Amino acid sequence: MGKNESLKPKGKGEKALHRLIAINSEIKALKDKLDRAAKNLISIIEDKESLKGFSVTSVLFSKSKKQRNMLNVLPKRIEFDFNNLRFYIDFVLTSLEKDDHTDIKGSIIYGTNRTLCFSDCLFPEKNDSKKCENCERIVRCDRFEDKPLIQFSVNQNGMIKSNGDLNDEWWIEEKKDLLDLHLRALGLIWKRALDWTSENILP
């Protein structure tokens, strides 16, 4: 074969290439939907009018660069405080084997986190040697550990389905749907979050 002759897959290799191209298109479509969901959810968390008349608090405290999954094209984690508890929303992709091909789904995961140490650092100065000595056991840079509490699946058309706990469907493009999902999810998981965050300090 000459140096300038290009390699072209044939047979099963060609079929695999077409499937990989299709997967890439699926990922792009799901990324666009999850981007839209993240944008709308941030808007909902920041919108005080959506909670007007209720004695609940919802504060977006971090538009961080945190990301637990390795697909860095997906939206970054949203972190917020709701009724004085810390919550996060992660966006990931999952796969489901279906007959002879892999079906790609998006996921929106609500969870909470708790401190691995005290809520306020006892040695806040960066150069304090005691801090390093006392925090050696802290394995994560923000000193928190996560607890995923509820998951929603997202398809390429923008339909969101609950994973059993909330038997319903929503549409990403409809902001009122996302508000409904957001409040119902928090209503369902708030007690679980409280119990888990207190678990490591109760006898």
Residues (pLDDT < 50) of the chain are none
pLDDT at 3: 57
pLDDT at 39: 93
Its domain, for residue 166, covers 12-199
Q: Read off the tokens for 72.
A: 């860095």
pLDDT at 76: 92
Whether 189 maps to a domain, the answer reads yes
pLDDT at 134: 59
Q: Read off the tokens for 10.
A: 């044939």
pLDDT at 35: 94
pLDDT at 101: 65
Whether 1 maps to a domain, the answer reads no
| Non-local CB neighbours of 80 within 8 Å, separated by 6+ positions | 45, 58, 59, 60, 61, 62, 86, 87, 88, 89
Whether 155 maps to a domain, the answer reads yes
Whether 7 maps to a domain, the answer reads no
Domain count of the fold of the chain: 1
Whether 160 maps to a domain, the answer reads yes
Whether 89 maps to a domain, the answer reads yes
pTM of the model: 0.84
Whether 3 maps to a domain, the answer reads no
